[in-house]
């Protein structure tokens, strides 16, 4: 493997998404010379033969596997077949093809929804598969768990240096602001902004407002991903084992959805009524990550939630027609 500052030829799968684009930005800022990307039109990661042919012809050293079908609670709940199938296809094709092509290091990105619906808080990595999953995103979570387990299986069978990072709820530039399919933070930014513009007196927030979520800015996630992949093989694998090899990535604190709504109302200047819609699901009551493994490996987040929300609001205003 090239030295930590030099990851060789790097492929970022999913570079048009929020996480992949943040990783590409960071790699370029840090002077990484060879960052390879492919749009979906150029390379459909759900097509096994195409992915294999791509890897066979590229001499790639390092892979960031940030390509995935993602969405908020409603999309996960309504399209479970899409979420499980596309994610299993993408990650299986990339991991297997990377192995065949001799890729030296890979980082698989998952999600904190891999943990049981009810788990001791904060959730440490070894809470994985200790209880039933949250129903609204079970299909997505099962695919992500399979990704972790694939990386571990390749480690055990072939000695592959395939690592996994499990981020908490992420937000930031290039997020999806579509009200039906997005996550809560971008959805509320857009809803409150539209209410201010239209002079509406109330905004509907799904569920009870009581669930708690931990939010991490995607630039922090990109920094953590680059940090984790740059660790020497010895350092990474001495912090984990090949039956529990993933690392949580979070900020260490959470807020209730009601608190988040208040913060977003204040950032957008909304002074009307916040109404809760109990017909929409709450999802997991709480999913705060234990980030002590990551901290022990020398990484800490830098972007406080208030600042991150304000910056993301500015990004949305510049990039969305009604923003």
Q: Which residues are bridge partners to 114 per DSSP?
A: none
Exactly one of 172, 207, 252, 308 binds ligand GFB (CB under 6 A); that residue is: 207
Exactly one of 36, 200, 255, 280 binds ligand GFB (CB under 6 A); that residue is: 280
For position 113 contacting ligand GFB by CB under 6 A, the verdict is yes
Q: Which is nearer to ligand GFB, 237 or 276 (CB)?
A: 276
Q: Which stretch binds ligand GFB (CB under 6 A): 36-44, 184-192, 219-227, 232-240?
A: 184-192
Shortest distance (Å) from residue 108 CB to ligand GFB: 15
For position 252 contacting ligand GFB by CB under 6 A, the verdict is no
What is the three-class DSSP state of 275?
Answer: strand
Q: Are 176 and 164 in contact (CB under 8 A)?
A: no
For position 162 contacting ligand GFB by CB under 6 A, the verdict is no
Structure tokens at 65: 């596997």
Q: Which is nearer to ligand GFB, 74 or 155 (CB)?
A: 74
Backbone angles phi, psi at 293, to 5 degrees: -60, -45
Ranges within 220-249 binding ligand GFB (CB under 6 A): none
DSSP state for residue 190 in the 8-state scheme: H
Shortest distance (Å) from residue 207 CB to ligand GFB: 3
Exactly one of 21, 32, 62, 182 binds ligand GFB (CB under 6 A); that residue is: 182
Handedness of CA 127, 162, 93, 7 (dihedral sign): positive
Backbone angles phi, psi at 57, to 5 degrees: -100, 10
Ranges within 63-92 binding ligand GFB (CB under 6 A): 72-74, 76
Rounded Cα gap, residues 282 and 299, in angstroms = 31
Alpha helices in 35-113 (DSSP H): 48-56, 73-78, 80-100
User: If we measure between CA atoms, which residue out of 109, 99, 89 comes closest to residue 12?
Assistant: 109
CA Rg value for the chain: 19
Q: Is 276 a catalytic residue?
A: no
Please identify which of the residues 140, 154, 171, 236 carries the catalytic annotation: 140
**Residues making contact with ligand GFB (CB under 6 A):** 72-74, 76, 111, 113, 136-137, 140, 169, 182-184, 187-188, 205-207, 211, 213, 257, 280-284
Q: Which residues are catalytic?
A: 140
């Amino acid at each position: 493997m090239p030295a930590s500052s030099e990851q060789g030829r790097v492929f970022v799968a999913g570079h048009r998404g929020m996480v992949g684009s943040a990783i590409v930005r960071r790699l370029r800022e840090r002077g990484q010379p060879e960052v390879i990307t492919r749009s979906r039109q150029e390379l459909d990661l759900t097509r096994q033969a195409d992915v294999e042919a791509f890897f066979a012809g590229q001499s790639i050293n390092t892979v960031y596997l940030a390509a995935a079908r993602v969405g908020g609670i409603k999309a996960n709940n309504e399209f479970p077949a899409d979420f499980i199938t596309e994610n299993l296809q993408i990650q299986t094709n990339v991991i297997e093809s990377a192995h065949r092509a001799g890729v030296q290091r890979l980082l698989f990105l998952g999600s904190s929804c891999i943990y049981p619906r009810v788990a001791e808080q904060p959730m440490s990595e070894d809470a994985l598969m200790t209880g039933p999953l949250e129903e609204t995103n079970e299909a997505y979570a099962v695919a992500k768990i399979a990704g972790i387990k694939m990386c571990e299986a390749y480690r055990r069978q072939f000695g592959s240096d395939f690592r996994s990072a499990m981020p908490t709820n992420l937000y930031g530039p290039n997020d999806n602001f579509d009200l039906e399919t997005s996550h809560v933070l971008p959805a509320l930014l857009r809803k409150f902004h539209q209410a201010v513009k239209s002079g509406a007196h109330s905004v509907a927030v799904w569920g009870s407002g009581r669930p708690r979520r931990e939010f991490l800015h995607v630039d922090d996630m990109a920094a953590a991903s680059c940090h984790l992949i740059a660790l020497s093989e010895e350092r990474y694998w001495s912090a984990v084992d090949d039956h529990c090899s993933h690392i949580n990535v979070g900020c260490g604190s959470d807020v209730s959805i009601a608190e988040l709504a208040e913060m977003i109302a204040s950032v957008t200047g909304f002074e009307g009524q916040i109404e809760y819609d109990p017909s929409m699901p709450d999802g997991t009551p709480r999913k705060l990550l234990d980030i002590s493994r990551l901290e022990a490996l020398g990484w800490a987040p830098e972007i406080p939630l208030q600042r991150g929300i304000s910056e993301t609001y500015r990004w949305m205003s510049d990039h969305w027609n009604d923003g």
